[in-house]
Amino acid sequence: MATVKLENITKRFGDLIALDDITLDIRDEEFFVLLGQTGAGKTTTLRCIAGLDKPEEGTIYLDDVSVNDKTPAERDVAFVFQSHILYPHLSVYENMAFPLHPRKLSAEEIDRRVRDIAQMLHIEHLLMRTPNQLSGGETQRVGLGRAMVRRPQVFLMDEPISNLDAKLRAEMRSEIRWRQQELGTTTFYVTHDQTEAMSMADRIAVLEAGKIQQLGTPSEIYNHPDNLFVAGFIGNPSMNCIPCDISSTNGELHLTLASHLGGDNSVAIQDTRISKTLNDNDSERNLVFGAHPEDIVVSHQPIPNAFQAEVYSVEPLGAETIVEITLGTDTSGAHTILKASTAPNFEAAIGQHIYVTFVPERMHFFDKNSGEALL
């Protein structure tokens, strides 16, 4: 298929810098996801690769060949848009066959390709229908199929399932990933949905305000976020990030959360790797503590190295229960909250006091000023 490389890409719209010195290297047959909030520059990145926008600086390569001066038609990429616009007067079959006609393929070859892809996407029974006879999920499959029949070097997908309901999105995530692996087509997929990114990607690049914040596998980004932005963006619920103090007592480091709120919210830092890192990085500087909800341990009974806190809210979700724990209020009356993921049978009442601690080796620390991770 193809590799895609973006080298120092900068794109401006007037005074707005949409992409700021972006460098990415997408491997052959890789499912690569660009993840970011609305306005981060995701679609602009795709449009630059497709040739619909031209960067002011940098070079775009397909298979190590610069395509900066090539037209969209010469780049052999298929762009799958967020809204699949089908020709309303054509049948599903005709919509899928449409991009093949300029290629001067025989009628037999066009028919074979359309029916092969339709069978792959389980839409062969829809071929004679018109777009107004399709459901949202069926429309998504037809739009995807119309791109797939071309057999491009690269698929560019711009949030193609964001308009679907939750159940259909889950189905289409699996469908798209399965078909991509079956075809072996290099795929560049953009989304604002971190669940999509985590469940589909070989690798993820997290984009914020036109800059890459982190690049890695889903596991790397989830377990080792490079900075506070990534930590607060990945995961559902995302990582708890709370200002903290580090103190030393008899050679043992102690973490105190939001100490300005009052109360004893302290635990000993028991992991030697974390203790060494904090000592090596000057534990007196302003730090932010981070913990994923599943790395917070709660109990109705006293447990070692724990503090007491009050239950703020309880959210049963079936497979798990999210317990929000308040550490107190600041001068404006706002609560500082920890979100803990507990077993579905964990019962707690609002206002109840429970014991809280953290998985020792799963503590994260960030520099409050720079936002960068210490470990």
245 and 177 belong to one structural domain = no
What is the Rg, in whole angstroms, of the alpha carbon atoms belonging to the chain?
25
172 and 309 belong to one structural domain = no
CATH number at residue 209: 3.40.50.300
67 Cβ contact partners less than 8 Å away, ≥ 6 residues apart: 51, 60, 61, 74, 75
Instruction: Give me the pLDDT at residue 283, please.
Output: 55
If phi > 0 it is left, if psi is from -120 to 50 it is alpha, else beta; for residue 184 that is left
Among 232, 256, 288, the domain boundary falls at 232
Which of 26, 19, 24, 20 is closest to 4 using CA atoms? 26
Q: Give pLDDT tens digits for 234-245.
A: 998 999 999 998
Instruction: Give me the pLDDT at residue 7, please.
Output: 97
159 and 300 belong to one structural domain = no
64 and 156 belong to one structural domain = yes
148 and 280 belong to one structural domain = no
76 and 169 belong to one structural domain = yes
The range of the structural domain enclosing residue 59 comes to 4-232
What number is the average pLDDT over the span 297-324?
95
Q: What is the pTM of this model?
A: 0.89
Answer for the pair 158, 80: CB distance below 8 angstroms, yes or no. yes
261 Cβ contact partners less than 8 Å away, ≥ 6 residues apart: 327, 328, 329, 330, 336
Q: Give pLDDT tens digits for 154-183.
A: 999 998 887 777 887 888 888 888 888 888
In a domain, residue 33? The reply is: yes
Burial 326-364 (b: 16+ CB within 10 A, else e): bbbeeeeeeebebbbbbeeebebeeeeebbbbbebeebb
Answer for the pair 97, 78: CB distance below 8 angstroms, yes or no. no
CATH number at residue 305: 2.40.50.140
In a domain, residue 372? The reply is: no
Whether 18 shows a pLDDT value over 80: the answer reads yes
Answer for the pair 312, 318: CB distance below 8 angstroms, yes or no. no
Give the DSSP letter of residue 334.
P
Q: Give pLDDT tens digits for 81-101.
A: 777 778 999 999 999 999 898
Instruction: Give me the pLDDT at residue 284, please.
Output: 62
SS3 132: helix
Match 């560019």 to its residue by tokens: 156
Mean pLDDT of the chain: 91
- Helix or strand holding residue 13 (H, E): strand 4-13
Which of 2, 12, 106 is closest to 53 using CA atoms? 12
Domain count for the chain, please give it.
Answer: 2
306 Cβ contact partners less than 8 Å away, ≥ 6 residues apart: 267, 297, 299, 355, 356, 357
Helices 166-183 and 136-148 meet at what angle, rounded to 10? 20
180 and 329 belong to one structural domain = no
Lowest-pLDDT range, 62-66, 155-159, 207-211, 261-265? 261-265
Q: Confidence class of residue 260 from pLDDT cuts 50, 70 and 90?
A: very low
